[in-house]
């Protein structure tokens, strides 16, 4: 049962803080009679934010109460708003707040903080033995500089996943000869989507009104992992700067996987998240991340108000046929600002508490993440904790399958380059938004009397391919 966010003891501590003076500059150790209020800014929202606040409440009532540390969680809901909040504080911009003691973000923000705000090197506060208890790959991803400085520690991780409306998808085996084996690869997924579109189109008298099979909210991660599977990374690091590698072979493969299916109506995204299209019954499959399981529906509400129950299942994300399988491990980590020694020590106390074996396991499974410690991320530990906490089966199995993917597939660590967030946004626009707009233009032209097949052929021509390829290069290089 979820506890109330407003805890009596926590409120008492905050009142003590408010009516007490600021931290005495001569204070050299934590004191429960003179508590320190720490602010932690995060991009988490919904379930992840709720659970982080729950954990902070637990800390404030126990460890924090004993030592005089209170942690306040400030949720910004999106990574862009979090970055904006942090950078405004770092640059002392008008209307900005004080720089937070801790923040949860992607490490791509670090280049923008250089020379403005120094970050704690966790090696100064964690022993080698303590750091070795984290998954080695996650510790490696937190190394920001060439000198091995560790500025980011993981709280939870996730990878791309496929979520399926099992109730309706399993019927396609009898209708169009499509099953779960059919969607293990991108090539099979697109072929299955074509069959589904043609089948649903045949059910009505209106031509070219077939339904899309799948949706996604992980376009950038898909693009980057596909390029990695081809051994042709889209973003190459040269002296800390990003360089775009988008040759003909890569462009043609991504054209086939993104441009063609979107133009033909096999693949859509109506809202910000893939779960939105699943919730309204627009698609049967959703490509998302591990934490996406928490938002997948168990009921569908159609535009006519009709509601029907469904069963969802989680599967590994698709990969290229006859290529190595690649994972991009996501979800950033926690940073600590350099400040007064006492504030740093208080922040570290909370982080060590939050990431100890049991607390990290609880936080991760409640949030939909894969745990980050070597002694709490085995399959049995995840399943046992999830069952003890009455975690939904879809979330539980999504975490388990994500962990297995991490063990079995090649891991791709994104290059630590300036302007990564800008490049990521450019990928989203080039590989989805621009193509979606072309699909919209196609349908408008058909509505105005042009022949569907002729207009479609125009959008799929070699001329359109090279125009699209050039547009992608322009967007990505502009992102740099």
| Structural domains present in the chain | 8-158+330-377 (3.40.190.10), 160-328+413-479 (3.40.190.10)
The pLDDT assigned to 322 comes to: 92
What burial letters (b/e) apply to 255-285, b meaning 16+ CB within 10 Å? bebbbbbbbbbbbbbeeebbbbbbbebbbbb
Residue 145 pLDDT exceeds 70: no
Q: State the DSSP string of 32-47.
A: TTSPEEEEEEE---HH
Tokens representing 229? 């599977």
Confidence of residue 271 (pLDDT cuts 50, 70, 90): confident
- Point out which residues pair with 236 in neighbouring strands: 243
Distance CA 61, CA 80 (A): 32
Q: At what angle do helices 379-388 and 357-367 cross, to 10 degrees?
A: 70
Enclosing H/E stretch for 395: helix 393-408
Q: Is residue 411 over pLDDT 70?
A: yes
For residue 235, the model assigns a pLDDT of 87
CA distance 82 to 35: 26
pLDDT per residue over 419-475, tens digit each?
777 888 899 999 999 999 999 999 999 999 999 999 999 999 999 999 999 999 998
Residue 178 vs residue 332, higher pLDDT? 178
Burial (CB < 10 A; 0-12, 13-18, 19+), residue 14, is middle
Q: Residue 5's pLDDT is what?
A: 47
Q: Does the structure show a pLDDT above 80 at 311?
A: yes
Confidence of residue 237 (pLDDT cuts 50, 70, 90): confident
Cβ–Cβ < 8 Å for 182, 191: yes
Residue 226: which of 178, 190, 181 has the closest Cα? 190
Position 142 scores a pLDDT of: 83
Distance CA 165, CA 276 (A): 13
Given this model, what pLDDT does residue 243 score? 84
Q: What would the mean pLDDT of 254-274 be, rounded to a whole number?
A: 93
CA neighbor of 120 nearest in space, from 340, 419, 414: 340
For residues 1 and 45, the answer to whether their CB atoms sit within 8 Å is no
Average pLDDT of the chain to the nearest whole number: 90
CA distance linking residue 165 with residue 215, whole number of Å: 12
pLDDT, tens digit (0-9, with 9 covering 90-100), for 337-355:
999 999 999 999 999 999 9
The per-residue pLDDT for range 19-75, each reduced to its tens digit, is: 443 455 566 789 999 999 999 999 999 999 999 999 999 999 999 999 999 999 999
**Euclidean distance between CA atoms 58 and 60, whole angstroms:** 6
Which residue, chain included where needed, has tokens 């980057």? 224
Task: Give the tokens for residue 348.
Answer: 């570290």
End-to-end CA separation in angstroms for the chain: 47
97-106, 358-367, 382-391, 406-415: range with lowest mean pLDDT: 406-415
Numbers of helices and strands, H then E, in the chain: 22, 15
Query: Are the C-beta atoms of 371 and 329 separated by less than 8 Å?
Result: no
């Amino acid at each position: 049962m979820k506890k109330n966010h407003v805890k009596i003891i926590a409120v008492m501590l905050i009142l003590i803080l408010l009516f007490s003076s600021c931290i005495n500059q001569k204070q050299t150790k934590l004191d429960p009679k003179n508590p320190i209020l720490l602010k932690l800014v995060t991009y988490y929202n919904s379930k992840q934010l709720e659970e982080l606040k729950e954990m902070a409440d637990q800390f404030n009532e126990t460890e924090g109460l004993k030592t005089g540390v209170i942690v306040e969680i400030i949720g910004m809901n999106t990574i862009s708003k979090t970055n904006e909040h942090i950078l405004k504080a770092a640059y002392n911009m008008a209307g900005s707040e004080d720089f937070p003691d801790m923040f949860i973000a992607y490490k791509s923000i670090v280049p923008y903080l250089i020379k403005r705000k120094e970050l704690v090197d966790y090696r100064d506060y964690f022993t080698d033995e303590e750091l070795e208890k984290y998954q080695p790959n996650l510790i490696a991803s937190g190394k920001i500089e060439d000198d091995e400085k560790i500025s980011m520690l993981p709280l939870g991780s996730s990878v791309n996943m496929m979520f399926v409306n099992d109730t309706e998808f399993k019927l396609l085996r009898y209708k169009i000869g499509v099953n779960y084996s059919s969607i293990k690869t991108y090539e099979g997924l697109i072929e299955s989507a074509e069959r589904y579109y043609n089948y649903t189109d045949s059910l009505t008298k209106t031509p070219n009104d077939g339904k899309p099979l799948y949706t996604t909210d992980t376009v950038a991660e898909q693009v980057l992992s596909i390029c990695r599977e081809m051994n042709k990374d889209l973003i190459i690091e040269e002296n800390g700067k990003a360089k775009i590698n988008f040759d003909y072979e890569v462009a043609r493969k991504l054209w086939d996987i993104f441009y063609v299916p979107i133009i033909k109506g096999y693949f859509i995204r109506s809202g910000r998240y893939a779960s939105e299209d699943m919730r309204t019954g627009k698609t049967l499959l959703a490509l998302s991340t591990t934490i996406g399981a928490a938002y997948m529906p168990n009921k569908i509400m159609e535009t006519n108000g009709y509601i029907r129950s469904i069963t969802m299942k989680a599967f590994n994300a698709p990969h290229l046929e006859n290529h190595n399988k690649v994972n991009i491990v996501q979800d950033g980590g926690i940073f600590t600002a350099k400040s007064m020694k006492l504030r740093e020590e208080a922040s570290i106390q909370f982080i060590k508490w939050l990431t100890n074996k049991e607390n990290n396991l609880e936080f991760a499974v409640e949030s939909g993440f894969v745990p980050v410690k070597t002694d709490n991320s085995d399959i049995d530990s995840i399943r046992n904790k999830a069952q003890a906490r009455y975690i939904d089966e879809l979330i539980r199995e999504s975490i388990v399958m994500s962990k297995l993917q991490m063990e079995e597939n090649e891991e791709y660590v994104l290059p630590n380059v300036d302007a990564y967030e800008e490049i990521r946004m450019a990928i989203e626009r080039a590989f989805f938004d621009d193509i979606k707009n072309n699909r919209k233009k196609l349908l408008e032209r058909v509505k105005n009397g042009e022949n569907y097949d002729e207009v479609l052929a125009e959008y799929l021509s070699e001329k359109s391919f090279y125009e699209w390829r050039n547009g992608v290069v322009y967007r990505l290089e502009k992102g740099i």
